[in-house]
Amino acid sequence: MIDMRDLRLDDARALLEHDPTCRLPEPEESPTVYMQSVVDNLCELSLKDPLTGLANRRHFRNVLAREIDAVARSGDSALLLMMDIDHFKKVNDNYGHLAGDRVLQAIANCLASCVRPMDTVARYGGEEFAAILPNCPASYGKIVAERIRETVGNLSISVSPLLSIQVTLSIGGAYAPEWVRSTTALWSDRADIQLYRAKTEGRNRVCIEQQREIAVSAEEKSMLFGHLSMGDPAWLECASSDASDGAAGSAMNKVN
């Protein structure tokens, strides 16, 4: 058995004391339960952005990879949204970095309220946010993204006792290819391209890549799941859609 007095837990406890959601049991009651609680809370803390409380980039990339795998297996639609605050540098320059932090926190809360519990929203870096929407049909994705944009645009954010400001959001989105084993980098790059398009076309707008239509026969689905059950990827996304003359679709190549 480990003697609790031999463990150096001061730094771990100091980190957890700053998290209002963390509640540690008394170590005297049960050292095992106490240590398990410390480990669990540190794991939870490592997945969060400290300023906004949203998922951090590390956690988001893991969720993105799992969703790619799920789409490859099920063929369900999944939408990735990349979102960037317009002219955020002006907020910091004009009102100070504390005001900028308040804007980030307000938008983070707003984004979390605009999506379903099954969706994952993250602070991707700086003033950029991202969201994964599983089981999101093409007809629904643009509606959700526009609702997010409009809700953020209508938000009045208090940056000081006498001053409230409004900001806007540019949003780019891309769907994961159905029945395709893609990569997080390819999916993110496609959403980033749409975000850049929204920025260059005037900001405060939504640009979503048209969902790719991929026809997969029952035999191909059987082959797909058969390969996945053995642990091998059945399909890889093509880097280019130029070599697409075959009848099976332009975004897939079979892997031997």
Digits of tens for pLDDT over the chain (256 positions)?
Answer: 666 666 777 777 777 777 767 777 777 667 777 777 777 777 776 788 989 999 999 999 999 999 999 998 888 899 999 999 999 999 999 999 999 999 999 999 999 999 999 999 999 999 999 999 999 998 899 999 999 999 999 999 999 899 999 999 999 999 998 777 789 999 999 999 999 999 999 999 999 998 765 555 556 556 555 555 544 443 444 434 444 444 434 333 433 3
Q: 46: which strand partners?
A: none
**In contact, 45 and 37? CB cutoff 8 Å:** no
Region label for 249, one of left (φ > 0), alpha (ψ between -120 and 50) or beta (otherwise): left
pTM: 0.73
Choose, from 67, 127, 178, 237, the residue flagged as catalytic. Answer: 127
Buried-exposed string 46-70: b where 16+ CB fall within 10 A, e elsewhere: eebbeebbbbbeebbbebbeebbee
d(CA 130, CA 133): 10
d(CA 145, CA 204): 11
**In contact, 25 and 16? CB cutoff 8 Å:** no
H-assigned helices in the chain: 10-17, 31-46, 57-74, 88-95, 97-114, 138-153, 184-200, 218-229
Asked if 44 is an active-site residue, the reply is no
Match 């993105």 to its residue by tokens. 64
